[in-house]
Structure 1
Amino acid sequence: MTYFKTAIIDIGSNTIRLVLYTYDPQRGLKEVENIKAVARLRNYLQADHVMTEEGIQKLEQVLLFFRDILNDYRIEDVRAIATASIRQAQNGTEIIERMLKKTGIKIELITGEQEAYFGYFAVAHTLATPSAVTIDIGGGSTELTYFRDKELQYSHSFPFGSVSLKQQFIEGDTMTKEEGEKIYEFAKKKFEILPWLNNIKLPVVGIGGSARNMAKLDQRKKDYPISGVHQYEMTKEDFTSISQEVLSLSFEELMQLDGLSSDRADIIVPVLEVFQALMDVVGSETFQFSRKGLREGLVIERILKKNPTAFNKKNVFERSTKFLAAEFDKPLEKTAHFVRLTEIAYFEFCKIGAFLYNAEDLHMLKQAARLFHIGEYIEVDAASQHTFYLLSNRSIDGISHEQRVHLALLASYKNRDDFSRYSEPFMEWFSKGEFKKMRDIGALLKFVYALDASKRNIVESIAMEQSGDNIELTIFTTGNAMAEMYQADRQKKHINRIFKGEVTLHYIKREE
């Protein structure tokens, strides 16, 4: 599949979103625009489940606005989907026909099971977590899935959501303690009906806006040093602390709370009770967040139908680094030789005891080699700083936030001083031993990068031998290695510090 632009219109019970995506086989899937309209269509469903004329007109106005945007962006490839609000409306068919006639936008009504499946599909292809329970709380429905080893086992859609729970249980703008207890018991009883949920002790992965707001609130409270909520994790204790804080605030205070969207101020509290109930039923101690959900699941499935190798849910991290490297002008063909040399060097360092071989360390090292100093794309002289900022603050599918910082520290390595400066906000994330190992592996990367100075694959291989405290490092070349020799001599100091003795470099030119 070649480059294309596409749009998803997601008609939910609380919000309606227009999200524009681009896809490039070299650089992957990117969200380029995300426009939200808060419509609260669930509020326009009457007791007989007929949507009022006012609600239908609001939907029409939003779709006409989105149509103008699509025309301005010249995007013809559009998929509009409707979930619980239209699904539960007795006049849903008439609404869909009217929207097509009035706006030219054809709406596809998806089932609760489809909604659950595509949410799972996005999580499986963008998170490293092998097994989990997912929850997506919309305005009028709640979708759950359970997957193991990235394969879907069960799914279910409940006909209640944040807006409908507020309507059913909460009288004022803010929830009382008694109302919260009723919502908790209501959700818990619903979840306990599903035998596959009970006490399976897996992480719970939250999808959608309400989960995203939870993550932002926790990050605000902790003065979190990096950005992004995708793959962010909270403990059950963190969750309880946030719940207590939110419950203590008035509606006006919630409206002003940093990290919480003002349009969710009145529905975040019932959502917290539902999350708590699910964690208790599952027996989960960890709550994770996925920024990717229904919309991404729809687009990823489409891409995979055209190109079955475009995404691999078993190999998420490697795919992410491949796309990221290509985006910053380091495609695989440019970095393959450097990655191979780095792997050889790692094994040689392990051979003489500088490192204790670890498959996870090698895996992270190879990904860091792919992305080493990608900040050169922005500015060569400040490549290290740009690299660290980009990697530590950019959402990278398939790794946790701790692993993301680990990757950034390796790929940005320049010297010990800069490493210490970058590490300073994360001193509680890693042990002293872990920091030392990252610093030494970063030094290895910096030295091997010097061996590829002219980007002509001149250095074929290296070998190391130890005699007492002294290290003999032989570098095998296949051509004029003047640039590599100059840079290697300059950067030798980085690996000298790993050993007690002196490292001596020898160059051997292979015969043609």
Structure 2
Amino acid sequence: MGKEHYAIIDIGSNTVRLVIYVREKSGRFKEIENVKAVARLRYYLEEDNTLNTDGIDVLLKILKSFKEVTDTYDLHQIICVATATIRQAENQHAIIARVEEVSGFRMQVLSEEEEAYYGYLAVVNSTSVSDGITVDIGGGSTEITYFQDRNIMHSHSFPFGAITLKQMFVKRDVPTEKEMYKIKTFLHDQFETLTWLKGKNVPLVGIGGSARNMVQVDQALKNYPLAGVHQYRMYENDMAFIKNYLLTLSFKKLQKVEGLSKDRADIILPALEVFHSLYEHVESTSFILSRKGLRDGVFYEQLTQDFGISMFPNVIEESFTELAMDFDIDYKHVHQATNIALQLFEELRQHGVGHVMKSDMNLLKRGAYVFNLGEYIDSESSSQHTFYLLANRTIDGLVHLERLKVALIASYKSKQIFKQYLEPYKHWFVKEEKHKLKTLGSLLKLAYCFDSTRRSIVKDIQVELEEEDLYIDVYCDQEWMPEEYQVEKQKKHLEKALKKNISVQFHLFRG
């Protein structure tokens, strides 16, 4: 059976976007094409709340061009949704009919509740945030939800967005400090109307183009070395710095800021004020970007319903399952090596060797699951490919620092190579953390040596510690010569990390 392709068209107040997805063998949706058109439909909404002829013509022109793209695919399904501007338009029924007549797309106008819900659904299915507040600021509305233990508790849609705030308070292209203060005061009054919002002290999760642009600017200013924006974390001082920095720039300079889309330059500051004011109102612990939003939420609803659930039980496990399928991971080999690694880890922990703690176990498990992943691409340069793939690929549920830690231990080859990979990020870790990652990486490397022929011959491991020496007794139910050779060859890495001599003895397992 061929791959299933899906399309979604998102008609917003600022932009109209077409995204094509392919459904992977793991069942997840992968984005393969993303086409954006700046429509600014909000500007065509008249005082009587009708979308004028010019606005309808702009929309139809974009949708006709999208139709040419969708016609090149054999699509399993096309979903076309519209949000605030069409929702608020008094002539929305006439617009819906015209869109179907001209493009063939059946446009579904999302309610405020649906728009907020899909944003929430995207966040809980693509991040590990269990308690939080989502904010999705579009051109004409701002959706906010509050969720606890991944369950939605409250949602609200404010009838203002980045464009409407600009229309209400800003006379020129760039707001003045006085105008920004008026926006801030207005937002404070609006947020006060929601009794469930104030002082929640949870992460604020941003969705949408303005949030993404803020993160991209922050990364550019910091020369951020990792790829990707999903699950990137910021704090109040970061947001305040970016806001104040952009306020000092002329509109011409604003359009050239690294990380900021030129077509968003005139509305970014009102949007930033929404994030910053909401952060303060909520007394958030951090700001986290979710690259997954409304469009993804629509597909998550469909995908989870296929399994008879409303959300994935564990986002991180889903992500690692997806990695396993994408890179043909040998489950049996991984399971055996992981068990050996955990046995060694527990013995070291109990003997107080290597400064490893029980809390490091999850990191070891994740690293073991994807150890030497890059072998799928090329066995000779497996370590380099492993590090690059894991450090730069979005892994839903893992924030950037966690992803980097997994990459460092799963790609471990030698102390020198480890230092090479760590170099751009060395200021992220204190000395003890670096040493611990090196220890976990060398431990995984040795654990995989015990199953080098993938026969699962190791049945038990016992560890003894005598002063500067570590004695490992390994019990096998088959001939162990290949494993013994690899262990003797590679044990030096763990010896260096632990600063101990390691003696390994193989024995016949007698049950």
Partner of 1:380: 379
CA distance in 2 between counterparts of 1:173 and 1:220 reads: 23
**TM-score scaled by structure 2?**
0.96
Does the C-alpha gap of structure 1 residues 385 and 310 become closer, same or farther in structure 2, counting only changes over 3 Å? farther
Moved more, 447-456 or 17-26: 17-26
CA distance in 2 between counterparts of 1:497 and 1:73 reads: 55
Partner of 1:390: 389
Note the aligned Cα RMSD (angstroms).
1.8
- Asked if the contact 2:348–2:356 (Cα under 8 Å) also holds between the matched residues in 1, the reply is no
Partner of 1:72: 72
CA distance in 1 between counterparts of 2:470 and 2:340 reads: 18
Moved more, 452-461 or 39-48: 452-461
Query: How far apart are residue 134 of structure 1 and its match?
Result: 0.8
CA distance in 2 between counterparts of 1:207 and 1:499 reads: 44
Partner of 2:32: 32
Does the C-alpha gap of structure 1 residues 462 and 310 become closer, same or farther in structure 2, counting only changes over 3 Å? farther
CA distance in 2 between counterparts of 1:24 and 1:334 reads: 24
CA distance in 1 between counterparts of 2:300 and 2:405 reads: 28
CA distance in 2 between counterparts of 1:169 and 1:331 reads: 59
Query: How far apart are residue 27 of structure 1 and its match?
Result: 6.2
Any residues of structure 2 matched to 1:116-135 within 5 Å, and which? 116-135=116-135
Partner of 1:90: 90
- Asked if the contact 1:27–1:326 (Cα under 8 Å) also holds between the matched residues in 2, the reply is no
Query: How far apart are residue 59 of structure 1 and its match?
Result: 1.0
Partner of 1:325: 324
Could you tell me which runs of 5 or more consecutive residues in structure 2 were left unpaired when the two chains were aligned. none
* Aligned AA (1:462): I
* Aligned AA (1:324): L
Partner of 2:415: 416
CA distance in 2 between counterparts of 1:27 and 1:335 reads: 22
CA distance in 2 between counterparts of 1:418 and 1:211 reads: 36
CA distance in 2 between counterparts of 1:197 and 1:36 reads: 33
- Asked if the contact 2:5–2:74 (Cα under 8 Å) also holds between the matched residues in 1, the reply is no
Does the C-alpha gap of structure 1 residues 3 and 364 become closer, same or farther in structure 2, counting only changes over 3 Å? farther
Any residues of structure 2 matched to 1:422-501 within 5 Å, and which? 422-501=421-500
- Asked if the contact 2:215–2:232 (Cα under 8 Å) also holds between the matched residues in 1, the reply is yes
Deviations 1:395-454 (A, max 9, x none): 111111111111111111001011111112222211111111110011100111111211
Partner of 1:337: 336
Any residues of structure 2 matched to 1:292-331 within 5 Å, and which? 292-308=292-308, 312-313=312-313, 315-330=314-329
Query: How far apart are residue 58 of structure 1 and its match?
Result: 1.3
- Asked if the contact 1:350–1:356 (Cα under 8 Å) also holds between the matched residues in 2, the reply is yes
Partner of 1:162: 162
CA distance in 1 between counterparts of 2:321 and 2:213 reads: 30
- Asked if the contact 1:185–1:277 (Cα under 8 Å) also holds between the matched residues in 2, the reply is no
Query: How far apart are residue 351 of structure 1 and its match?
Result: 3.1
Deviations 1:472-511 (A, max 9, x none): 2112222232321111110010122244442111111235
- Per the alignment, in what secondary structure is the counterpart of residue 245 of structure 1? helix
Query: How far apart are residue 284 of structure 1 and its match?
Result: 2.1
- Asked if the contact 1:2–1:25 (Cα under 8 Å) also holds between the matched residues in 2, the reply is no
Any residues of structure 2 matched to 1:343-354 within 5 Å, and which? 343-354=342-353
Partner of 1:401: 400
CA distance in 1 between counterparts of 2:2 and 2:503 reads: 50
- Per the alignment, in what secondary structure is the counterpart of residue 227 of structure 2? coil
- Per the alignment, in what secondary structure is the counterpart of residue 249 of structure 2? coil
* Aligned AA (1:205): V
- Per the alignment, in what secondary structure is the counterpart of residue 414 of structure 1? coil
* Aligned AA (2:190): K
CA distance in 2 between counterparts of 1:325 and 1:173 reads: 49
Does the C-alpha gap of structure 1 residues 331 and 42 become closer, same or farther in structure 2, counting only changes over 3 Å? farther
- Per the alignment, in what secondary structure is the counterpart of residue 187 of structure 2? helix
Does the C-alpha gap of structure 1 residues 146 and 246 become closer, same or farther in structure 2, counting only changes over 3 Å? same
Partner of 2:509: 510
* Aligned AA (1:108): Q
Query: How far apart are residue 3 of structure 1 and its match?
Result: 6.0
**TM-score scaled by structure 1?**
0.96
Query: How far apart are residue 334 of structure 1 and its match?
Result: 4.7
Q: Does 1:290 align with 2:298?
A: no
- Per the alignment, in what secondary structure is the counterpart of residue 47 of structure 2? coil
- Asked if the contact 1:147–1:153 (Cα under 8 Å) also holds between the matched residues in 2, the reply is yes
* Aligned AA (1:77): Q
Partner of 2:261: 261
Partner of 1:175: 175
- Asked if the contact 1:322–1:332 (Cα under 8 Å) also holds between the matched residues in 2, the reply is no
